[in-house]
Amino acid sequence: MLTNVGGDLLSFEKLPSGALTNQTRADHDAAFGRDWPDVEILTLDGYTGRLNDFLTGAPDLGNYASIIIGTIAPFSRGNVSISSGDTNVYPNVNPNWISDPRDREIAVAAFKRARAIFQNGAVQPLLVGPEAYPGDTVETDERILQYITSSSSTIHHAAGTNRKGKSDDPMAVVDSRGLIGVQGLRMVDISASTLLPPGQPQATVYALAEKIAEDILKG
């Protein structure tokens, strides 16, 4: 699937056959569905290297193009906890990114997929010079994973931060109607989603809002 976001080309795809081990492919399809994409591919007309480079711009005045690939069906799970009842004490946030070995495998395969796009014969005539970052010294799976873990970041679509369950679940704060243990309040945002579907979450939030609005109208 292709779409356009702010002038940038966005697509979703399952990685090519053979890119993942049979076990990781089977686990992914079982957990998310055979039609669920593995990655989100975003092409950008700019330089996206290490975080500091991204914030300060390209190292020179050259024209750059980048491909960012996001793993949109991760197995890794983080957690948020508190160590104090004092609101002045910050919560403990552990994103736990790329901690599951299957996510590490998918991330490496996704990196190779991005590199393969630039190596395609139709793209090569448009390029001037070698890969700027991370460069051809990052070649083995180990070096690629090291690069990914040191430079990757979230795209800030946090989801599922409010546990969903039934009223007898002491850890749940929302149910299918957006409330547990409160009156006159509904939770209608992506924090109440049990997972984040592929792509941008706006349409998912709209669907949730329509559903909760119908519940409210029904009393």
User: Per-residue DSSP letters for 120-168?
Assistant: STTTGGG--SS--SS-TT--SHHHHHHHHHHH----S-----S-B--TT
Q: Which of 14, 112, 115, 157 is catalytic?
A: 157
Taking residue 90's Cβ as centre, other Cβ atoms within 10 Å add up to: 10
Task: Record the tokens describing residue 76, joined without a space.
Answer: 């890794």
Q: In the structure encoding, which two tokens stand for residue 193, read together?
A: 């989603």
Distance CA 120, CA 138 (A): 19
The answer to whether 157 is a known catalytic residue is yes
Q: What's the CA gap between 10 and 2, in Å, rounded?
A: 6
Q: Find the helix or strand (DSSP H, E) in which 82 lies.
A: none
44 forms beta bridges with 66
First to last CA, the chain: 39
Give 3-state DSSP helix, strand, coil % of the chain, rounded to 5: 30, 15, 55
Query: Which residues are designated catalytic?
Result: 157
